[in-house]
Amino acid sequence: MSNEQKKNPAAGAAEEKTAAAKTSAADPMDIDDDDPLSATSVSKKSLVIFFLIDTSRSMVGKKMGELNTVMEELIPEIRRVGEADTDVKIAVLTFGTQVRWMYAEPISIEDFEWSRLRADGVTNMGEAFKELNARMSRNSFLNSPSLSFAPVIFLMTDGYPSDDYKEALAELSTNSWYKFGLKAALGIGQEANDEMLAEFTGSPDTVVHAYSGGQLAAMIKIIAVTSAQIGSKSMTLSDDVNHELNAEEVLAAKQKLLGQQIQDSMTNLGNEAASFDTGW
């Protein structure tokens, strides 16, 4: 387009003003960064979902096979769970003889790729609690500069801890992220101890038990999806009330809701014949 056309309809008057404007010095407007269309994504809250997975020798075979498969399939299904509100990340901690993170830091759910786990060794769950406690800190895994939701912590095990978990759990219990976190646990097979798991989650409602491959897959899915949905969103606290809410009433409301929803889903799950503990 020529200069002529560039000028506006009221061309005559404009001419002299162009000249005047060129000499005017200070420009009050930063014209390099004022495009109303060039926005970045809205600021989001962050949520880390921790999976604590028992990789001791007893998990070998069908249990590990089911677990690996369901996790591989599950993650793409919940990729959009954060919608426009939450940036969801995943961190996987495995415990056998050694305690190991699948990746060195939490990875965004949109980019996360499951790396298949192998089972070997004993059940050092206490060590896992210690490691989790160390990483659940603003200086480590929970270092988002923006707001965070309390993390989701999902423990899966098929046995009783071989180490002294009590001391480690007591220490973990003083971690505020753990305190406010959404905790759930899945016991696999006969050896897993639901009472011990309830110590970890803080309530029996958020502990479930799988005795077969079908149940294992279904329960992992239910817990992961439900906890990711509840954990990644603000909660409607006032659905059923007709009075001014106070802070005590809403305390741990998400954890309670998680317990309810897990229990509701469990009643819809049927029992299957072939258990993990037969035919080994």
Residues that bind another protein (CB under 8 A): 1-2, 4-10, 12-14, 17-18, 20-22, 27, 29-31, 33-37, 39-43, 45, 76, 79-80, 83-85, 110, 138, 145-150, 176-177, 180, 233-247, 250-254
Smallest distance from another protein to CB 251, Å: 6
| Residue 268 Cβ vs another protein, minimum distance, rounded to whole Å | 8
Least distance (Å) from another protein to the CB of residue 186? 22
Nearer to another protein, 2 or 271 (CB): 2
The nearer residue to another protein, 164 or 264, going by C-beta atoms, is: 264
Smaller CB separation from another protein, 45 or 62: 45
Cα separation, 99 vs 50, whole angstroms? 14
For another protein, give the closer residue by CB, 41 or 271. 41
Residue closer to another protein, measured from CB, 94 or 227: 227
Record the tokens describing residue 38, joined without a space.
Answer: 């060039």
Q: How far is the CB of 278 from another protein (least distance, A)?
A: 31
* 3-state SS string for the chain: CCHHHHCCCCHHHHHHHHHHHHHCCCCCCCCCCCCCCCCCCCCCEEEEEEEEEECCHHHCCHHHHHHHHHHHHHHHHCCCCCCCCEEEEEEEEEECCCEEECCCCCEECCCCCCCCCCCCCCCCHHHHHHHHHHHCCCCCCCCCCCCECCCEEEEEECCCCCCCHHHHHHHHCCCHHHHHCEEEEEEECCCCCHHHHHHHHCCHHHEEEECCHHHHHHHHHHHHHHHHHHHCCCCCCCCCCCCCCCHHHHCCHHHHHHHHHHHHHHHCCCCCCCCCCCCC
- In terms of CB distance, is 107 or 250 closer to another protein? 250
18 contact partners, CB below 8 Å, separation of at least 6 = 7
Structure tokens at 247: 């802070």
By beta-carbon proximity to another protein, the closer residue of 71 and 188 is: 71
Minimum CB separation of residue 2 from another protein in Å reads 7
Q: Which is nearer to another protein, 195 or 240 (CB)?
A: 240
- What is the smallest separation between the CB atom of 42 and another protein, expressed in angstroms? 5
d(CA 39, CA 173): 41
Two structure tokens written together for 105: 């830091």
CB of 83 to another protein, least distance (A): 5
- Closest distance between another protein and the C-beta of residue 86, in Å? 10
The two three-digit tokens of residue 119, written as one number:
């089972």
